[in-house]
Structure 1
Amino acid sequence: MTDVHKIASSAVGSNGASSAPLTLDALERAVGSHDIDTVVLALVDMEGRLVGKRLTARHFLESTVSHGAESCEYLLATDVDMSPQQGYGLAGWDRGFGDFQLKADLSTLRLLPWHPGAALVLADAFKASGEPVEVSPRQILRRQLERLAARGLRAQVGTELEFMIFRSTYRDAWESGYRNLTKATPYSVDYTLLDTNNIEPLIKRIRISMEGAGLNVESSKGECNLGQHEINFRYGDALRICDDHSIYKLGSKEIAAQEGMAITFMAKFDQREGSSCHVHVSLAGADGSNVFAA
């Protein structure tokens, strides 16, 4: 298996977006000029969310790049409310909670335009022995992609995430028990242009911010439910697109919070149309052709 944690910075590329992820050299220059002061080291958890640490950029360059950063094993043994659960082989109340090492995958290093002065890099979990934690979501996906590669195939993935927008803050939603929230639009805005104009400042900021973070945005549109929208991204290699998927969910929620609003990607908020997560998968052969079309 390729050790992605030792990839030369010159090999770091983009997924086709106009603003490519950062190289390590570019990060060092930005830190030296005081343009970047924080690096978010993020792990994909069992719910597909990003968890981790915010590091000073100086510490990231001096220590984390080469040695990683410690984190608790319970991050891969919790439920959606971050409560540790029994039955996991990695960690639990019956066997204790140790640490694993988070090592940055430098091919994912990028700016966070919605957090000026910050960059983000995804990490993989490693045991003290240096072996990868096999139950981590990115590692599970890598194993399946390696099985495909052994057969001369490469997975191409595209995801579409629908979401609901509320003109309430996350704190307001929590305090109200998630009841009586004000949806961003009072009626269906599926494919409409004029009626989605009032929410366009938020949607545009998400689109532009995702481009600035190296994601390849294609379009956005209103959806059927009240306050429901969708932003679409170009397909690409499976691991990279799944990484982008998690970054997009985190970023859009953070941007909404900064605008005094809230977003949820939950599948079924009310009795009306639910928010889907469409996952489009195709397989490319050695010549790049779609083997499903053969």
Structure 2
Amino acid sequence: MNSPVPFVERYGLHNDHQRAAAARSHETMKQHDIEVVRLIWPDQHGLIRGKALTVDGYLAALRSGAEATIAPFFFDTANTIAINPFTPDGGIGDPELAGLANMVMVPDPETVRVLPWAPDTAWVLCDLYTRDGMPFPYSPRHILRRTLERVQQAGYRFVAGIEIEWYLTRIVDDMLATGAVGAPGRPGDPAVVAPLNRGYNLMLEGNLDVVDDALRPIRRALVDLGLPLRSVEDEWAPSQIETTFDILEGVAAADAALLARQAIKHVARRNGHLASFMCTPGIPGFYASGWHLHTSLVDATDGTNLMVPGEGELLSELGRHYVGGTLAHAAAASVFTTPTVNGYRRRRPYSLAPDRLTWGADNRAAMVRVISAANDPASHVENRVGEPAANPYLYFAAQAAAGLDGVLNKIEPGEPSVDPYAEDAESLPGSLEQALERLTGDRFYREAFGSDFVDYLLTIKQSEVQRYNAHLAEHGPDGEYAANVTEWEHREYFELF
């Protein structure tokens, strides 16, 4: 009797590069005496989920995948079950997902990394599939892949550089012995922390030296993982750090952002620190953090940067239209770029964060900052709208889809602004609730990502907003922390992100 064809081969889920990488990963496991491999994937919030398998289990998963429950895709940020899976259509119009069915994790062997901080342990990112070999429809990595395929079909490739701000704090009390450990819909008490230095001293070298002992193992871990770290800087507020990474293409760039955030958090925690990518923690003296996304389109064949301006231009014609598309779809994209209630505290005038739809030449008040010079092959744009807790796959996909639409439909961005905070321009949504309203009626992202996915994400995020509004109705302004951040926000996001 013939053996059944293994899942990965049956559905053609690995290309030639991945098959070669799978063979190499056998040697990696032996060379580094790996005992367990964490099969990981990004969920709808940009959080890493997964399972730890033995090496034999990993090698089997390379052929047959490994099953896992789809349950995390039904949770909001507090593990509230936002969608009832125990209905005939699984709560989201798909009978195949009813009853919390399993999906299949298929390791992407090109992403195998040995963890510098966890002995005998490796990471590998997975793509998610249904049991019939179809991409799992709510996987953010799949949404980005599909978007980038359209970019490629149009003759371009999407490249991105990451500039992200975050907080590095010292744990004073982890609250595990004295605080609430949490329940579905209500996270546990967040750790009590203290900053590692004082603010506000942007790029003060002395502050960077104060935190060097805490940063050194983090820097080394990022480099040892093979992530293209470029800089680590002292940001404006106390204990606020900025890290930048060199450009990567498409999915690899989003993977790098996902893994960098997780690596920073893991290494910090093992050394008695807590790293948080929450936008505005409810801690006295802390300030909003941003995620500035640097992008450009290059020629799909030879990699030539297609945004480079000629003499007298701010950007090439293609680059200008890319900005036009970015601005045209920015309001609806807010759910992807700024997906938490807390992230909207950053959108204030004269705050180094954008509050309206503007672009400008090397202007940090504009939503889209153009960094260019005539005939400079490094010319590109920086979208300053995002928060550090954004899901990298959805942030990148939203940017790539909007920019491509601008290019294909020759959308003009209007004149660049010289005073963005005074510009008579449309305001960005001022809350997550407003952003959800804009996305609900938006035809563009429904076509780009599929209405089923958009409706699914809206349901998940509406659960978050409803719980926040219920907190306000019960506690009002008396529950506010520093910077007007509520106790609900700090509990919800500080340790999670």
What's 1:109 paired with? Answer: 112
| Identity fraction in percent | 26
Contact 1:102–1:124 (8 Å) recurs in 2? yes
Residue 269 of structure 1: aligned partner: 281
Is 1:65 the equivalent of 2:62?
Answer: yes
Where does residue 79 of structure 2 map in the other structure?
Answer: 82
Residues 189 and 28 of structure 1: CA distance in aligned 2, closer, same or farther (over 3 Å):
farther
Matching residue's letter, 2:294: H
Give distance in 2, aligned partners of 1:237 and 1:90.
34
Q: Is the 8 A contact 2:65 2:105 kept in 1?
A: yes
Matched, 1:288 2:298: no
* Worse-matched range after superposition: 77-86 or 252-261: 77-86
Tell me the distance in 2 between the aligned counterparts of 1:144 and 1:232.
Answer: 24
* Structure 2 CA distance for aligned equivalents of residues 110 and 283 of structure 1: 28
1-side partners of 2:239 and 2:171: how far apart? 12
Question: Aligned pair in 2 of structure 1 residues 175, 261: CA closer, same or farther (>3 Å)?
Answer: farther
Tell me how far 1:277 sits from its aligned partner: 1.1
- The aligned residue for residue 5 of structure 1 is 14
Match of 1:164 among 164, 167, 175: 167
Alignment of 1:46-65 (within 5 A): 46-61=44-59, 63-65=60-62
Post-superposition CA distance 1:139-169 (Å, at most 9, x none): 0001110101111010001121211111116
Q: Which residue of 1 aligns with 2:448?
A: none
More helix per residue: 2
Q: Secondary structure at the match of 2:171?
A: coil
Out of 215, 228, 240, the position equivalent to 2:240 is 228
Shift in CA distance, 184/229, structure 1 to aligned 2, threshold 3 Å: same
2:65 partner letter: G
Whole-Å Cα distance in 1 between the matches of residues 19 and 134 of structure 2? 26
Q: 1:41 to 1:84 in 2, by over 3 A?
A: same
Alpha-carbon contact 1:5-1:106 (below 8 Å) kept: no
Structure 1: gaps (5+ residues): 12-22
Instruction: Return the letter of the residue paired with 1:100.
Output: M
Q: In structure 1, which of residues 126, 129, 140 is the aligned counterpart of residue 129 of structure 2?
A: 126
Contact kept? 2:165, 2:289, Cα under 8 Å: yes
- List aligned pairs for 1:200-215, cutoff 5 A: 200-215=212-227
* Alignment map for 1:142-157 (pairs within 5 Å): 142-157=145-160
Inter-partner Cα distance in structure 1 for 2:127 and 2:290? 28
* Matches of 1:64 and 1:206, distance apart in 2: 30
Q: What is the number of residues matched between the two proteins? A: 280
How far residue 60 of structure 1 moved from its aligned partner, in angstroms, is 1.0
Q: Which has the larger radius of gyration?
A: 2
Q: TM-score, normalised by structure 2?
A: 0.52
Q: Please identify, of 31-40 and 276-285, the stretch whose mean Cα deviation from structure 2 is larger.
A: 31-40
Q: Which runs of 5+ in 2 are unaligned?
A: 1-10, 85-90, 181-188, 309-315, 317-497
